Amino acid sequence: MNYNLHDSPEAKGQRLLNALEAGTVLPIDRHRETAETYIVLRGVIRVLFYNDRKELTNTFDLDSKKKTYGIHIPKGQWHTLEVLESGTVNFEVKDGPYATRNRKIS
């Protein structure tokens, strides 16, 4: 579940809180027009980077208890996240407006 902190899908700055449960895995996607930033406020998430051949290239664990809070995801980087702890809350920031043009690795 997310809670938008921006006024509309057309807003130039997309800021939102994501409440996520353990076992949640978001689809692999990339944003061709914007970079993205995740900051974990509570809980643990694993961020995974992929190349264009669908090969895992790197993983990053964000854990509020270990004070590893954030990651910058460059524009065009294939990525996903896995939630490792129930009750995780993530703050996400990216440029808007919201677009459904992001492509998923199939």
At residue 106, the pLDDT reads: 46
pLDDT of residue 92 exceeding 80: yes
* Residues 92 and 16 sit within 8 Å (Cβ to Cβ): yes
Strands (E), the chain: 2-4, 13-20, 36-42, 44-50, 56-63, 70-73, 78-83, 88-95
**Which residues, in sequence order, are bridge partners of residue 70?**
39
Single pTM value for the model: 0.84
Quickly name the fold that domain 2-91 has.
Answer: Jelly Rolls (2.60.120)
At residue 82, the pLDDT reads: 97
How does residue 99 score in pLDDT terms, banded at 50, 70 and 90?
Answer: low
Structure tokens at 78: 């294939």
pLDDT of residue 50 exceeding 70: yes
